[in-house]
Amino acid sequence: MLRKILNNKIRLAQFLFLVALLALIRAFEDQLFYDPFLDYFKNDFTKLSLPNFNPFQLFFGLLFRYTLNTVVSLWIIYVLFKEVQMVKFALVLYYFFFMILIISFFFITYYSKGHNNFALFYVRRFLIQPIFVLLFVPAFYYQKKK
């Protein structure tokens, strides 16, 4: 598959453009999204109490960021595999995981009283970073080979 991608320069250019888009989302996260946890997790968060935040703004900020990452990730999956069925399946998975993660995130923030900072860190990491594309691409590649 890697040879196919390298032989097809347009697909390679599309793939690199999409990866650059993911990097730009990360680079401009402070300007694009409301997230008081950005600075919180840059410090020694194990000894700090949770920052004050507006739950509605935070929810919509996380939703917006997750949606941007999802759109770019789905586009990457389409560029790599050229199968609409895989993209549809990935979309269902993305929003299934979003529902689980966002509920977990707010449950941890409201009911753990700052005692599960590492759990909050990792749940938030899955919400704000395009980690699922790193999991889905090898899984879909393996599935396609079978």
User: What is the per-residue pLDDT for 5?
Assistant: 58
Mean pLDDT by 10 residues, the chain (146 residues): 68 92 93 83 71 88 95 96 94 96 91 75 90 93 87
- Are 86 and 77 a contacting pair, CB within 8 Å? yes
pTM over 0.85: yes
User: What is the per-residue pLDDT for 46?
Assistant: 65
User: What is the per-residue pLDDT for 63?
Assistant: 95
User: What is the per-residue pLDDT for 17?
Assistant: 96
Listed in order, strand segments (DSSP E) in the chain are none
- How far apart CA 130 and CA 90 sit, in angstroms, is 13
Handedness of CA 112, 114, 115, 119 (dihedral sign): positive
User: What is the per-residue pLDDT for 2?
Assistant: 61
